[in-house]
Amino acid sequence: MIKSLYVRMVFAFLGSVLISVVVSFIVNGRIYSDELRTYMMESMVANGKTIIQSYEQSYPHNLDALVKGWTAFPIYSARLFDKGGKPLHESEASGSRFEVSSDQLNLVLLGGVYKNTKKHGFNHMMVGLPFRINGEPYALFMKSDISEFALLLSGFFRNQLLIVLFFGSIFIMISARYIVRPLQHLTRATRKMSKGDFSIRLNTKRRDEIGQLTESFNHMAHELGALEQIRKQFVSDVSHEIQSPLTSIKGFTQALKHKKMDESARLHLLDIIEEESNRLSRLSEDLLQLSSLEYENLSLNVRQYRLDEQIRHVIIALEPQWASKRLDIELDLAETTIAADEDKLNQLWTNLLSNSVKFTSELGHIAVKASKVDGGIEVAIADSGQGIPEEEIGSIFKPFYKVDKSRDRTIHGNGIGLSIVKRVVDLHQGDIRVTSQPGQGTTFRIYLPQSE
C-alpha cells in the first residue's frame, strides 16, 4: 500500500504539516520569548505603579475596597509589605501565596526595584516596587500567574492543529486523487499499448505537466500505431518481393527436372533462374543497407573530398546502362569540396542516377548540375523520363513503394533505392525535393550543408 503514489502524497503532506508546526513553535518560541517576557515585566511594573498610586490616594480610607479591586488583574498575584516586613494586603490570583525572601524585601524597602526574569517559564516572573507614604517605606511585590491562561492558549493551539490536520487530510486526499487519477489512466493505457493496442487515446482538459504528459502519450500512441502499420506493410512488401522470385525459381527448377527440352530452352530457363537469384541478392543487399542506415545513428565516416569528381566517377561507372539506351548526359559540375561520408553519398548518387537511366526512354536526356548555394551545395538531377504523378510524390521514399504498379515489367527494381537516398540525405542534415510531371520527366534536388 505504501508503494502507492496516492498514499505517499497523503503521508508526505501530513508529515510536512507536522514538521512545519513543530519547527514553527520552536522558531517562534525563540524569536518571541524574550519579547513576551519583556512585555509582561513592563506590564507588571505599570500595573504595580497603578496599584501604588491608587493605594496612596486611598490611604488610610477605603483600603478594603481598593484591595478587592486588585482582583481586576487576574493573571497577577500581589503582596504589600510595611517597613517592618509585615504583610499588609495580599491578592493571590492562583489561590496560593508566593514567597518573598528577606533579601528581596530589604532591597525594595531600601528604595531598590527588584526584577526576577531568570527562572524558566513565565509563572516565575516577579517584580518588587518601592514607595513611601508619610515618609514610611512600603514594598509592593507582584508575580505573574498565567498557568490557566497558558493552558487555555495551548489547548487552543492544540485544537487548532487537530482541526488543520483533520480538514487538511480530507482536502489532500481529494487533491491527491485528482492528481493521481490521470496517472492511473496512463498506467492502464500503457498496459493496453504493451499488448499491441495503439488505438487507445486519453481525453484531458488540463494544461499542466500531467496534461502535457497525457498529450505526449496520445502523440506517442499515434506514432507507434503508424509505425506498426508501416512495419506490417514493410513485412508484407518484403514477403511479396521475396516470394515472387522464389516462386519463379521453384517453378523453373521443377520444369528443368521433369520436362524434356532442348538445350536452348534449358539455357533460357537457367537464365531466368539466374536473373531471379540476382534479384533476390540485390533485394537482400538493399535491405541490409537500409537497416544499417536506420540504426547507425549518425555514425558517419566524414572526410573532405571533391564532390564533383565523385559524381563524374558514378556517371562513368553507369556508362554501360546509359550508353546502351543512347542517352544524352549533360554535366554542369562546379568545383566543390564537401565534408561528408563518401561511401554513403556514392550510394546516393548511384541510386538516383540509376533510376534516371532506368525510367528514361531511349535517346532521352539527363542533366546533372552541382552548384554552391546558401552556404551549402545543391545537386540537381533532371531526366526526360516517365515522370511521377503529383499525388504520389510524397510516397516515393517509402520502402517498396512503386509509382506505377502496371508499368513496364522489364524495368527491374524493388522500391528500396529512394528510401536509402532519403536516409542518407537525413544523416547528412540535408534536404531532398522532387518536382515531376507525367510524361515530362523528373528533377531531384539535393541540398547538403557545406563544410570547407
For the chain, the structural domain boundaries read 5-149, 198-295, 300-449
List Cβ neighbours of 208 (8 Å cut-off, separation of 6 or more): none
User: What pLDDT band is residue 8 in, cutting at 50, 70 and 90?
Assistant: confident
Q: Is 376 helix (H, G, I), strand (E, B) or coil?
A: strand
Cα of 138 vs its chain's centroid, Å: 78
pLDDT at 146: 63
Topology at the third CATH level for domain 300-449: Heat Shock Protein 90 (3.30.565)
For residue 79, which phi and psi values (nearest 5 degrees)?
Answer: -135, 135
pLDDT at 407: 43
Place of cell 533505392: 417
**Which of 51-65, 263-277, 305-319 is modeled with the greatest confidence?**
305-319
Euclidean distance between CA atoms 405 and 351, whole angstroms: 20
Specify the amino acid at residue 197: D
Q: Write the burial class of residue 440 (CB in 10 Å: 0-12 exposed, 13-18 middle, 19+ buried).
A: exposed
Cα of 81 vs its chain's centroid, Å: 77
Topology at the third CATH level for domain 5-149: Beta-Lactamase (3.30.450)
Of all helices (H) and strands (E), which one includes residue 233? helix 209-258
Q: Write the burial class of residue 203 (CB in 10 Å: 0-12 exposed, 13-18 middle, 19+ buried).
A: exposed
**Which of 149-163, 211-225, 367-381, 417-431 is modeled with the greatest confidence?**
367-381
Q: Mean per-residue pLDDT for 318-327?
A: 89
DSSP lists the bridge partners of residue 433 as: 445
Write the CA distances from 177 to 48, 184, 209, integer angstroms. Answer: 59, 10, 16
Residue 290: CB atoms within 10 Å: 17
The per-residue pLDDT for range 262-307, each reduced to its tens digit, is 888 888 888 888 877 877 776 777 666 666 666 545 567 889 999 9
- pTM to 2 decimal places: 0.47
DSSP letters, 163-176, are: HHHHHHHHHHHHHH
64-73, 128-137, 216-225, 241-250: least confidently modelled range: 64-73
Specify the DSSP class assigned to residue 337: E
Q: Mean per-residue pLDDT for 242-259?
A: 79
Residue 259 in contact with residue 283, Cβ under 8 Å?
no
Euclidean distance between CA atoms 286 and 441, whole angstroms: 25
> Under CATH, which architecture does the 198-295 domain have?
Orthogonal Bundle (1.10)
Euclidean distance between CA atoms 195 and 201, whole angstroms: 15
Higher pLDDT, 119 or 226: 226
Dihedral (Cα; 139, 140, 141, 142), 10-degree rounding? -170
List Cβ neighbours of 97 (8 Å cut-off, separation of 6 or more): 77, 79, 90
Q: Are strands 136-144 and 126-133 parallel, antiparallel or unpaired?
A: antiparallel
Give me 198's grid cell: 495503439
Cα dihedral 48, 50, 52, 54 sign: negative
Percent of the chain with pLDDT over 90: 11
Of all helices (H) and strands (E), which one includes residue 311? helix 307-317
Residue 198 in contact with residue 170, Cβ under 8 Å?
no
pLDDT at 74: 61
The per-residue pLDDT for range 377-404, each reduced to its tens digit, is 999 999 998 888 887 887 787 766 655 5
Cα of 297 vs its chain's centroid, Å: 24
Euclidean distance between CA atoms 140 and 113, whole angstroms: 10
Give me 119's grid cell: 527562572
pLDDT at 61: 67
